[in-house]
Chain A
Amino acid sequence: MISRRFRLRWMIPVALLIAGIASAQAPPPVAPPAAPAAPAAAPNVPRTLDVPDGALVAAGKAPELDVLYTGDVIGFIEPCG
């Protein structure tokens, strides 16, 4: 016969082990419904330097300072290629 004291000796560790496994396998607590995901940030696309809408001069409020610049003109005074 197995004494009551002996059974307890095994039952308690086994119970603890089962409880541990059970809790590890239990589904996670149900979270409240998540808010709709924010749309992914737009990729950082550099702004084009083209004048908008094919205009010759960009519309908009006149800036405080307008700087115009050229370079490497190498004597071209007539239309080229």
Chain B
Amino acid sequence: MLLDTGNFTDNPTEAGDLRTAKLLESMKTLGYKAINVGERDLNLGYDDFKKRTEALGLTFISTNIVKQGTKETVFPPYKIVEVKGTSGKPVRVGVLGVDRYSPVWQKAGPAGTNLGMAAPADMIATYLPEVRAKSDVVVLLAALSKDDAHELAKRFTDLDLVVGAYGGIYNTVEETEGRIGIYYTGNQGKRIGESRINLDAKSRVADVTTYLHFLTIHYPEDKAMQDSIADILAKLPKTDPPKKAELLQKQAEAAAAPAAAGGH
């Protein structure tokens, strides 16, 4: 079962939009079950977001993006995903998603409204009881600092797992708040978290073993996905700002050039 904590959107340029569209299409192909809406994903407002995503059939949630000045959520505040467990029994996974609180964050919302960011704790307090009642496993997708994630896990002990991304921060070792595991995966899709969960006789979490996969060249490419992405990369406008790898390559070439030219 695949989840994403949000902020999947590239810069709002022609090339950035192509990349974002390809990424979302790939997430659909991979079978992501729920995606938290991050701040970046609403850079151009709600209508633009809907235009970019509605044909995909992906499930976007946000527990704390609201109509400004209210507690009315704009996206589904949670998703209950039912999957078939290895034993063959159904497992219900409740997924909530929150972004960092900001009293000044504001974006254009639907039908002339504005979007605002409510305090994550207030909104989790509102929805967690019903999510817990409907779920065997409850996961919080967290697009906020790890300190904030710990505070939430400390307060909301009905959560089972907090998975997050907030810039380049990622876990190298197990991290918990009480019995709740807190795992950050870094950014730019370099790493993918994996939590292996077993349930007890009452269908409650019995144990969790987590790994963080660093997607180096050792992980094999999927040929179809690779070809599909190559098609998009070929279409990127040449004016597209180079990404980090290209920048590093250019810096390395620039540094080597004087030596090659006789050390000047």
**Interface of A toward B, CB cutoff 8 Å:** 46-51, 56, 58, 60, 62-81
Interface pick from B120-128, B150-158, B194-202: B194-202
- Contact at B139–A67, with CB atoms within 8 Å? yes
Interface pick from B7-15, B60-68, B71-79, B256-264: B7-15
- Binary contact readout B169-180 vs A (1 if CB under 8 angstroms, 0 otherwise): 001111100000
- Contact at A65–B83, with CB atoms within 8 Å? yes
Q: Which residue of the partner chain A has the closest CB to B225? A: A77
In the assembled complex, which residues on chain B have CB atoms less than 8 Å from the CB atom of A62?
Answer: 86
In the assembled complex, which residues on chain B have CB atoms less than 8 Å from the CB atom of A67?
Answer: 1, 3, 93, 137, 139, 161, 163, 193-195, 197
- Contact at A69–B174, with CB atoms within 8 Å? no
In the assembled complex, which residues on chain A have CB atoms less than 8 Å from the CB atom of B36?
Answer: 71
**Interface of B toward A, CB cutoff 8 Å:** 1-11, 16, 19-20, 22-23, 26, 36, 38, 40, 83, 85-87, 89, 91, 93, 137, 139, 141, 143, 161, 163-167, 171-175, 183-199, 209-213, 218-219, 229, 232-233, 243-245, 248
Cβ-neighbour of B10 out of A68, A70, A75, A81 (below 8 A)? A75
In the assembled complex, which residues on chain B have CB atoms less than 8 Å from the CB atom of A58?
Answer: 194, 196, 209, 211
A71-B163, A74-B7, A76-B189 known; 5 new pairs, CB 8 Å cut-off, are A63-B196, A64-B197, A71-B143, A72-B38, A74-B187
With A73-B7, A75-B11 already in contact, the answer to whether A68 and B193 are too (CB < 8 A) is yes
In the assembled complex, which residues on chain B have CB atoms less than 8 Å from the CB atom of A56?
Answer: 213, 218-219
Cβ-neighbour of B91 out of A65, A78, A79 (below 8 A)? A65
- Contact at B16–A78, with CB atoms within 8 Å? no
B178 → chain A, closest Cβ, in Å?
15
- Contact at A68–B175, with CB atoms within 8 Å? no
In the assembled complex, which residues on chain B have CB atoms less than 8 Å from the CB atom of A66?
Answer: 1, 194-197
Closest 7 CB pairs of A and B: A75-B10, A71-B165, A71-B5, A72-B187, A63-B196, A72-B165, A46-B173
- Contact at B172–A48, with CB atoms within 8 Å? yes
Cβ-neighbour of A75 out of B9, B172, B197 (below 8 A)? B9
A-B contact pairs, 13 of them (CB 8 A): A47-B174, A49-B212, A56-B213, A64-B89, A67-B93, A67-B197, A69-B5, A70-B193, A71-B164, A72-B6, A74-B40, A80-B189, A81-B248
